[in-house]
Amino acid sequence: MIRAGIIGATGYAGGELVRLLLGHKDVEIKWYGSRSYIDQAYASVYQNMFRLVEDVCRDDDLAALADQVDVIFTATPQGFLASALNEDILSRAKVVDLSADFRIKDVAVYEKWYGIEHKSPQFLPEAVYGLCEINREAVKGARLVANPGCYPTCSVLSVYPLLKEGLIDPDTLIIDAKSGTSGAGRGAKTANLFCEVNENIKAYGVAGHRHTPEIEEQLSYAALMPVRISFTPHLVPMNRGILVTAYASLKEVRCPDGRDRLPSEEEVRAAYRKYYEKERFVRLLPPGVCPETRWVEGSNFVDVNFKIDPRTKRIIMMGAMDNLVKGAAGQAVQNMNLMFGEAEDEGLRMPPLFP
C-alpha cells in the first residue's frame, strides 16, 4: 500500500483528494492535515465523509508527516511548501504540490507574479511540472512534482499540439477561460458569496492573472520559442468546471505548386490525434462537437476540439474539464500513480457525473 498524507485536506482540492484516494485500491490515507481544524473530526468538516473517515484533522508538520508516509500532497496556499521543504523531508517522502511554488522555473517571475519571496529555490531545477500527458517520463522518476494549475492544464492541452506542430502563429494567441466558483477556494470572500456570483459572469485578473506566466512557460517549451499570450479568466455561477476558448492565426502551408494555403481540417485533426490518440484522459471530440463542462464534471477527462474559420484565417481551440479533478486532485493522483509505478488511471476510472 502507498501511505499518503494530505496537508490542506479541508480545502476544496484537499477534499477532492480525499474522495479520490479513498477509492484507490493501493492507497491508505495516514494523515489529514489542516491548520484551521486541528483536532476536529474530518467528517465534521465534510459531512459526506461521515462513517467513511474516522480520523481527526492534524496540523501541518511536514517533518513529522514524512516519517509516516510515502507521499505527501500539499493542497496549500502559495508559499507554504517553499517555506517548509528541505532535503530531509524529500529524502523520506515524495511530494506532490498543488500550489504554484515549484511550477515556474524562474524565481524572479514567480516572485513578481505572486508577490512573495521564494524560500527554497534550490529545489526548482529538480521539480517536475506534472502535466502527465507531456512530462510522463520525467514524472515517473521525480520525488517533487509541481501539480499544474487548473487554467494552465486546460489551456495548454487545448493548444499544445498545434504549437508543437507549428500550425499556429504564437504571437497571435489569445486565451479566454471561464471557471466555476470552487476555483477560488473555500475561504470566505465577499466576491464569492451566492448573491455576488449568482446570475452574473465577470472577468477578473485581466492582463494580470497569476496563471499567465505558467501557461506561457509551458507553451514556450512546445513552440521552442518565447510565447506571450493574452489571457483573460472569467467567473461563472457554477460549482465546477473550466471552459477554455483559444484563438490564433493559422500558419499557411506551401503546396507543391508553390501556392500557400491554410491547413486543412484533417491536417489539424491529425495533429491532435498524434499527441492524444493514446491518452486515457484527453478526449478529442468528433467534428462539430464543442466541449462542454457538464460532460466532464467529476471526472479526470479533458475534452478538446477545434474549428477553423477560413474567413479570418484563424482557428478556435476549445477545451473543457473539471477544475477540481483534472485541474487539481485528479491530476495529483495521476502523478502519484506514475511516481509509484501504478496504472496511470488507478482511482480515476469514474465516468463524468450527469446531471
Phi, psi of 232 (to 5 degrees): -130, 115
Residue 99 contacts by C-beta under 8 Å, 6 or more apart in sequence?
74, 75, 76, 77, 78, 79, 80, 81
Helices (H), the chain: 12-22, 42-45, 62-66, 80-84, 87-92, 107-114, 132-140, 150-164, 194-197, 212-223, 265-276, 330-339
Degrees, nearest 5: CA angle 127-304-224: 45
Look at residue 192 in the predicted model and tell me its pLDDT.
Answer: 83
Count of other CB atoms within 10 angstroms of residue 258: 6
Rounded distance between C-alpha atoms, residue 337 and residue 319, angstroms: 24
Look at residue 251 in the predicted model and tell me its pLDDT.
Answer: 95
Look at residue 187 in the predicted model and tell me its pLDDT.
Answer: 80
pLDDT in tens, 50-82: 999 999 999 999 998 899 999 999 999 999 999
Q: pTM of the full predicted structure? A: 0.96
- Angle in degrees, 0-180, between the axes of helices 150-164 and 265-276, rounded to the nearest 10: 120
- Tell me if residue 195 is catalytic: no
Count of other CB atoms within 10 angstroms of residue 240: 23
Rounded distance between C-alpha atoms, residue 172 and residue 6, angstroms: 41
Mean pLDDT of 314-340: 98
Q: What percent of the chain has pLDDT over 90?
A: 92
Question: Which run of H or E residues covers position 179?
Answer: strand 174-179
Rounded distance between C-alpha atoms, residue 217 and residue 205, angstroms: 18
* Catalytic residue (choose from 150, 195, 255, 290): 150
Judge whether residue 188 has pLDDT over 80: no
The structural domains of the chain, ordered by start, are 2-126 (3.40.50.720), 151-322 (3.30.360.10)
Task: Tell me which residue of 70, 49, 52 sits closest to 6, measured CA to CA.
Answer: 70
Judge whether residue 93 has pLDDT over 80: yes
Look at residue 191 in the predicted model and tell me its pLDDT.
Answer: 83
